[in-house]
Structure 1
Amino acid sequence: MIEYEILNLEEIKAMISSFNDLQSAYNLLQSYSIESPLKGVEIKNLKLSEEELTRFNFILNSIQSLIDDLLHITDQNIIIFNAFQNELLAKFKRSYKERLKSLELNKKNLQILGNSLIKNKNISKIVSNISYIHSLKLTQWLELIDSLKENTTFNIIIEKINEFYQDLIKVRLNEQLSMIRDKFDQTLINEYKKAFYENPSLSFSEYRHIYENSLTKEELDQKQDIIKNKREKLELEKLKENQERQDTLYQDYLRLPSKEFERKRRKERRGKLSKIDLKENNNKIEISKETSDKIEKFKNSFDKSLKNRYLVQEDDGKNPIDLIRERKKKKSEEFKKYKKHFEAE
């Protein structure tokens, strides 16, 4: 039976410490010999006594003997350490294989235990790796594009993508148009639409800034005058339409019989009165009698002026048709006045 001993690093360090000391001493002597000023000097050229020469030869012989011993020891140490290294590697491989075997056995047992727990819904499965598919590179698309053009499914998908993209552009364009005020010319808005389809990231404020910078001051003033005149014409058109609508209503009223006209007039009065909402003020404020008389006096005068100025005065003596004709005449004069004003400009 093979006995396994525990690997002790301290013993290994003690084994190689003496070798390290010897190696450092050798390196130190070698550095001294390199730095020595007597390097390259022959012994016969030195003036030494017989005793000094004997000592010098002894030192040289000792150094040579030391070198030979070091070479022998180094060779032996290399052989020993190679064997030691091989033995360590073999032991490490054996221990690693045993560890892998135990891990494999434990992994199988863990799988069996984990599957039973997942089956009984005691635990949930953890996804450790995210599965994904790499997208095609541009060069691969270029190689496939010719064959994809003949593919019906691919063409249908491309059409749907194009429709979705066009819908997104329209939504963004409508958002930009909703922020435009009425003071801008319709021509400028149409030009912005064309520029937007070329560059969907372009906002109306950016386009207007670029457009105004491209114009001179005279051209810009001329554009503003044109916009102003168009706006005035639109207001005149609205006034005309309103006048025509009122004229049509008056004509309809004139065609009505007297009883029907009176009925409609009473209905309008009831509608106006129903819109008035009177709220009582329950908060009583203590005021003096003199102040109360002043307030009451002012209230009576205010009610009287308000009634004379804004409320419809009943005139039972006048014919309602005559009243409508008078109002129609006043409106016609007012329309002619505005018309002359705009035509003069």
Structure 2
Amino acid sequence: MARRDSARRDWDESDVRVRPNKSGSRPRTKDRPAHRDAVTGRIVTVDRGRYTAVLDEDTDRERLVVAVRAKELHRRPVVAGDLVGLVGDVSGAPDSLARLVRIEERATVLRRSADDTDPVERVVVANADQLVIVVAAANPEPRTGFIDRSLVAAYDAGIEPLLCITKTDLRDPAELISHYTALELPVLLSGPARDAAADDDGATLPLDRTLVEALRARLDGHVSVLLGHSGVGKSTLVNALTGADRATGGVNAVTGRGRHTSSSALALRIEDASPGSWIIDTPGIRSFGLAHVDPDRIVESFDELAEAIAECPKGCRHTEASPGCALDDWVAQGRAGDAGTSRLASLRRLLGAGERPGESREDKELGIQ
């Protein structure tokens, strides 16, 4: 017994065996590196987990850099137009690969949902300040529903909308334009085609140089996103404005639909324009759901009606069927000005774009009259 007590008194901490940590001896921390040395670039396209960014744009050091995302970004979407922080090999040399470690604060975000009942938001582009909605006067037929949906998304994102109507030689667009006179929506029209562009099948597409130059003036100094269905001439306009070679396609004579020729969003610099002038061409989007848009956000974009929200009951949808909606009395009392009635009708047309009962999937893809 005395021997055991003596042995215990001779022990110290060095006699304790510690099982090694399988995950390593380095202590874990939630602190992430600040990456203060990261350089800022603009994402021009995303393709299968590779992010292409332009660095030092509008300087003699401008270059394209390909990057992969860092693990700490998790699943945050990175889209065309994003300003991002890059580290590692940012030389832009062949086969080089940088690391994307940060998404800078976005000025605007254009979002959509896959369907009006789908709560998941999908980011389309970032940091655009203009949305150009391209439709054809005919072939394919213009649908006011799609235009309405695009306008709702633009107002929600704080992006200025612009309507561009092509193929006016096939049909007078006056009736289509009449739907939007109360919105003070800028409209650009094509005239007679004075040139032609060959598509990838060898056919010719009309190209109105006057419209191209009018668009160039509107887009100068802005980051603009072009949205439109296949077959309306969107890619033809992009090619003429940027000197790019985006594939163009015609319209199926049976279905009346265009053939999708773009597969990914791509930011392109506008030729003969001021620094910072970009077009973000989007692939043919077959659905533009509005589940993510709060009705109050739409009303707030109408300055003469916005204050009426305070007098509406909680949860008011601001439609004609909404009980107790204050917008009707607001307009009837003349508090929205002389154009109040037409402005309210325009607002409710936008609000109703996501709530029309009985819409089929095709209606949501192409919009409805």
Name the TM-score class by shorter chain: under 0.3
Structure whose CA Rg is larger: 1
Structure with greater proportional strand content: 2
TM-score (ref. length: structure 1): 0.21
Structure with greater proportional helix content: 1
TM-score (ref. length: structure 2): 0.20
